[in-house]
Amino acid sequence: MIKIQLFIENPIQTNTWVLIDDESNEAVIIDLGGGYDKIKEYIDAHCAELKFVLCTHGHFDHIMGIPDMQMDNPDIPVYLSKKDENMTDKINEMLKQFGMSGNYASVKVAEFIDENTKHLSIGNNKIEVIETPGHTQGGLCFKINNLLFSGDSLFRREIGRCDLEGGSYKELIHSLKTKIATLPDDTFVYPGHGPVTNIKDEKEFNYYLQD
């Protein structure tokens, strides 16, 4: 069984998801948007070992907790799409665009991943990488059994914005309709912002997933 814990981080209220596999005591973080110290305390309190960090995309609010983690433990690998590589050293620049400031180091990526990446897992649970460009060119979703971590591609009855660097409304709609709406109805969706939803509800009530 996988335990899922939500940490809502930074002024943008980003969902950072911490997964712990009960059998292996392996932990995985999805979208480390801040609060590394308290997340580390949570993982340590469960006697778990952090295996790696997954990034659904490269926007600052989804990666700004990674420099602190890499300062504390540089051996923890970080995975991101190659198409969002140009964002890994733009945290401070992007903060300014949103009227904020900071002094963050660049994020060091251990491996760039895509749909051909087959080696990711937590315990005995395989992690499927689904490419969903549109919010950014390198947007990714991660599917573990009937759990989908959708980043900013899909929210509850909404979708991510497409007006930032690398965004494309046409691409995002195509991604959602061909790769996400085709998943089983009982797939739970854990987004990058806002509440949990499911595929059945999104197909019924999300305007952007309608035919």
pLDDT tens for 33-62 read 999 999 999 999 999 999 999 999 999 999
Residue 68: count other Cβ atoms within 10 Å of its Cβ. 18
pLDDT score for 165: 84
Residue 32: pLDDT band by 50, 70, 90 thresholds?
Answer: very high
pLDDT tens for 64-121 read 999 999 999 999 999 999 999 999 999 999 999 999 999 999 999 999 999 999 999 9
Query: How buried is 165 (Cβ within 10 angstroms: 0-12 exposed, 13-18 middle, 19+ buried)?
Result: middle
pLDDT score for 38: 97
Query: How buried is 41 (Cβ within 10 angstroms: 0-12 exposed, 13-18 middle, 19+ buried)?
Result: exposed
pLDDT tens for 7-23 read 999 999 999 999 999 99
Domains of the chain, earliest start first: 2-209 (3.60.15.10)
pLDDT at 211 over 80: no
pLDDT score for 83: 98
Sheet containing strand 197-198, edge to edge, reads 128-131, 140-144, 147-151, 188-191, 197-198
Mean pLDDT across 173-184: 97
Q: The pTM is what?
A: 0.97
Structure tokens at 154: 């899909």
- Rounded Cα distance between 126 and 120, Å, is 6
pLDDT score for 28: 98
